[in-house]
Chain A
Amino acid sequence: MVQLRPRASRTPASAEAMVDEGQPASEEAEHGLLLGQPSSGAAAEPLEDEDGEDELDDEAPEELTFASAQAEAREEERRVRETVRRDKTLLKEKRKRREELFIEQKKRKLLPDSLLEQLTAAPHTDIKKSPGKLKEVNLQKKNEECEKGSDSKKVKVQKVQSASQKSYLALRLKDQDLRDSRQQAAKAFIHNSLYGPGTNRTTVNKFLSLDNKRLPVKKAAAQFLNHAWGIQKKQNAKRFKRRWMFRKMKTNKSK
Chain B
Amino acid sequence: MGEFKVHRVRFFNYVPPGIRCVAYNNQSNRLAVSRTDGTVEIYNLSANYFQEKFFPGHESRATEALCWAEGQRLFSAGLNGEILEYDLQALNVKYALDAFGGPIWSMTASPSGSQLLVSKRLLVGCEDGSVKLFQITPDNIQFERNFDRQKSSAVRKMIVDRQYMGVSKRKCIVWGVAFLSDGTIISVDSAGKVQFWDSATGTLVKSHLISNADVQSIAVADQEDSFVVGTAEGTIFHFQLVSVTSNSSEKQWVRTKPFQHHTHDVRAVAHSPTALISGGTDTHLVIRPLMEKVEVKNYDAALRKITFPHRCLISCSKKKQLLLFQFAHHLELWRLGSTVATGKNGDTLPLSKNADHLLHLKTKGPENIICSCISPCGSWIAYSTVSRVFLYRLNYERDNINLKRVSKMPAFLRSALQIMFSEDSKKLFVASNQGSLHIFQLLEGSFKHLHTFQPQSGTVEAMCLLAVSPDGNWLAASGTSAGVHVYNVKHLKLHCTVPAYNFPVTALAIAPITNNLVIAHSDQQVFEYSIPEKQYTEWSRNIQKQGFHHLWLQRDTPITHISFHPKRPMHILLHDAYMFCIIDKSLPLPNDKTLLYNPLPPTNESDVFRRRTAHAFKISKIYKPLLFMDLLDERTLVAVERPLDDIIAQLPPPIKKKKFGT
Contact = CB atoms under 8 A, between A and B. Distances in A.
A204 B80 contact: no
B457 A44 contact: no
Contact of B654 (A10, A37, A202): A202
Given A38-B503, A193-B190, A204 B649 contact: yes
Nearest to B104: A186
B399 to A, nearest CB: 15
A187 B645 CA distance: 28
A194 interface: yes
Contacts of A111: none
Contacts of A194: 214, 232, 265
Given A38-B502, A45-B536, A148-B366, A210 B459 contact: no
Interface in A142-189: 148-151, 177-178, 180, 182-183, 186-187
A30 interface: yes
Given A202-B654, A213-B662, A32 B481 contact: yes
Interface stretch (A82-90, A116-124, A131-139, A233-241): A82-90
Contacts of B366: 148, 178
Nearest to A82: B458
Contacts of A15: none
A112 interface: no
A227 B364 CA distance: 30
Interface stretch (A1-9, A58-66, A67-75): A1-9
A112 B203 CA distance: 60
Interface string A24-58: 00000111111111110111111000000000000
Nearest to B175: A193
Interface stretch (B221-229, B377-385, B540-548, B624-632): B540-548
Which of A31, A222, A223 has the most C-beta atoms of chain B within 10 angstroms of its own C-beta? A31
Interface in A197-222: 198-208, 210, 213-214, 222
Interface in B58-107: 59-60, 62, 72, 79-81, 88, 102-103, 105
10 contacts: A9-B547, A10-B300, A10-B550, A83-B458, A151-B364, A194-B265, A199-B655, A204-B648, A207-B654, A208-B648
Interface of B: 27-29, 46-48, 59-60, 62, 72, 79-81, 88, 102-103, 105, 127, 169-170, 173, 190, 212-214, 232, 263, 265, 296, 298-300, 362-366, 456-459, 481-482, 499-503, 523-525, 527, 535-536, 540-541, 544-545, 547-548, 550, 553-554, 645, 648-657, 659, 661-662
Given A31-B482, A203-B653, 15 more contacts: A7-B547, A10-B550, A29-B500, A30-B500, A31-B458, A41-B523, A43-B544, A44-B536, A44-B544, A83-B457, A202-B653, A204-B650, A208-B649, A213-B662, A222-B649
4 nearest A-B pairs in the assembled complex, by CB-CB distance: A2-B499, A43-B544, A202-B656, A186-B103
